Amino acid sequence: MRRTVSRVAIVFALLKKELVAYARDTVYLALTLVVLIAAPLLFRAMPDRVDEELVLAICPPVERLLEGSTEALRALGASEADIARIRQADLTNQKGLLLVEFDDAAKMRAAIEGSLEVWRASDGTLVFVDTTAGEKRPRGAERVDVQVGVAFPERFLADLVAGARGIEVTVYTHASAPPELRQAVTSFVREAAFEIAGDELPVRFPDEKDVVLGTDRLGDQVSLREKMRPMLLFVVLMMETFSMASLVSTEVLERTVTAVLVTPAKVSDFIAAKTIFGTLVSFTQALIVLALIGGLTASSWSVVLAVLAIGAVMFTGIALIVGAAGKDFIGQLFYAMLFTVPLLIPAFAVLFPGSVAPWVRVLPTFPIIDVLVKATVYGGGWREAAGSLVYALAWLAVLFGAGVVALRRKVASL
C-alpha cells in the first residue's frame, strides 16, 4: 500500500534541503554575515545629532562697535533714545545663532580659511587656537566650524544713524560653504542695518506658521544616523535577492529541480519552498539588524513588521525572476544588478532632502522605503502608512506573480 505524503510535509522537506544548500554556499553565507555585522557598525558610526546653529563671525566685536559709535552718535545729534535703541538691537540675541567676535579682519579670515581654529569649551567660552604656531586645542572642547564672517567698518553704527549711504560691509565665506549661506548672511546684515537705522523694511513677511507648509522641522531635525536606519533595513532585504537567486539558478542549471520533481513534489511545492525560505531568511535578517539598531515604537512596531514582510516577499519574487533568467553565474549576477540597482534609487531619494521625483515614486520599492522612513524615523503608524502599504501590495502582486510564472515556465522547459 502506497503511503500518501501531505503537501505540507513535502514543502517542509524541501525547506530543509534549501537550508542545507544555503549553508553550503559559502560566498553568500559570508556575504550575509558581513551585512549583519557591517550594518549596525555603520549605523553607530553615523552622526547622531543635527547642528542647527548658524556660526557667524563678525569683526570688530559688538561692544567695540557700540563704544566707538556712541560719542559720534551724540555729536551727530542722536538722542539718548536713539542710542538706547541701537544698544537694544542685540545681534547676538538670535535663535540658533552663535556669534564669534574677532578683533581684526585678518584673524577672522584665518578662522574661516582654517589656519586659526575656534573651540568651544564646556562652559561656552570660545578659544582660538593658532595651529601654525603649534598651539594645542583645549581639553574637552568642541570644534566650532566657522564658514562665514562679516567685517563691519568701525563707524558702522554711527554712519547708519547719520543716514550715510554706500557703507561697505564685507561678507567672507569658506570655499566649501553653500552659496545659500552667503546669500542668507547678506540678507541678515541688510535687514539688521534697516532695523538699526530705524527704517522699516519696504515689505512685510507673515508669521512662519503661515508660510511653512507641512510639518515644521525647525528645531526637530532628524540626524543622519536616524535617516540611515530605514536605508539599512532596506539594503538588508535587498541583499537576499542575490543569494536566493543563486539558489534558484543553481537548481535550474544543474537540473536538480528535475530530480526533485521525480518525487511526489510538484512544481508548486518547489516554488512554495523557495518563497517561504527566501522570505524567512530575508525577514529574519532584517529583524536581527532592526534589533541591533533599534527604531521600534509602541505605535509603529506593527507597521514596521508588516512592511518588512512585504519587502521580504517582494525581493523573493525578484529573486525568482533573476534565478529563472540567469544561464550561468555571470548572467545571474548581471540580472540581479539589473533589477536591484534601479530599485535602490528610492532609498537615496528619501535619504537626502528635497522632493522626490515623480518617476521615483513609481518604482516598486518606493512605498517600502517610504513606510520605513515614516515608521522608524518619524514614528508614524498605520494611518500614515496605509496608502503606501496598499501601493506596495499592488507591486508585490505584480513582481511575485511574475517570479512564479517565470520560474514555472523555466522548470517546465527543462
Give the tens place of pLDDT for each residue, 104-143: 888 888 888 888 888 887 777 778 888 777 777 777 788 8
Instruction: Report pLDDT for 359.
Output: 87
Name the pairing type of β-strands 116-120 and 126-130.
antiparallel
Q: Which of 355, 58, 372 is nearest to 232 (CA)?
A: 372
Q: Rounded to two decimals, what is the model's pTM?
A: 0.71
Lowest mean pLDDT among 35-44, 121-130, 296-305, 327-336: 327-336
**Alpha-carbon dihedral of residues 314, 320, 322, 326, nearest 10 degrees?**
170
- CA distances for 143 relative to 111, 131, 235, 382, 391, angstroms: 12, 13, 34, 42, 46
- Least confident span in 15-19, 121-125, 239-243, 291-295: 121-125
Of 143-157, 208-222, 292-306, 365-379, the least confident: 208-222
**pLDDT band for position 305 (50/70/90)?**
very high
What share of the chain in percent tops pLDDT 90? 9
End-to-end CA distance of the chain: 32
Residue 288 near residue 35, CB atoms below 8 Å: no
Highest mean pLDDT among 173-182, 259-268, 286-295: 286-295
Here the cell at position 158 is 554711527
Q: What is the mean pLDDT of residues 237-247?
A: 81
Q: What is the pLDDT of residues 160-186, one digit of tens each?
A: 766 777 778 888 888 888 777 778 888
C-alpha cell at 397: 502582486
* Residue range 177-197: mean pLDDT, rounded: 77
Average the pLDDT over 283-299 and give the result. Answer: 86
pLDDT on residue 161: 67
Q: What is the pLDDT of residue 308?
A: 93
The confidence score (pLDDT) of residue 309 equals 93
Buried b (16+ CB within 10 A) or exposed e, 85-114: ebeebebeeeeeebbbbbeebeebbbbbee
The three three-digit cell numbers of residue 35, written as one number: 551585512
pLDDT at 238: 86
**Cell numbers found for residue 371:** 513606510
Query: Torsions phi, psi of 127, nearest 5?
Result: -125, 130
The answer to whether residues 364 and 307 touch, using CB atoms and an 8 Å cutoff, is: no
Summary mean pLDDT of the chain: 80
Phi-psi region of 134 (alpha: psi -120 to 50; beta: other; left: phi over 0): left
Residues 61/168, Cβ–Cβ less than 8 Å: no
Q: Nearest to residue 239, comparing CAs of 282, 193, 184?
A: 282
Of the two residues 48 and 287, the one the predictor is more confident about is: 287
Q: How confident is the model at residue 296 (pLDDT cuts 50, 70, 90)?
A: confident
Kindly indicate the confidence band of residue 391, based on its pLDDT and cuts at 50, 70 and 90: very high
Sequence-distant (≥ 6) Cβ neighbours of residue 265 within 8 angstroms: 10, 13, 14
pLDDT of residue 128: 85
pLDDT of residue 383 exceeding 60, the answer is yes
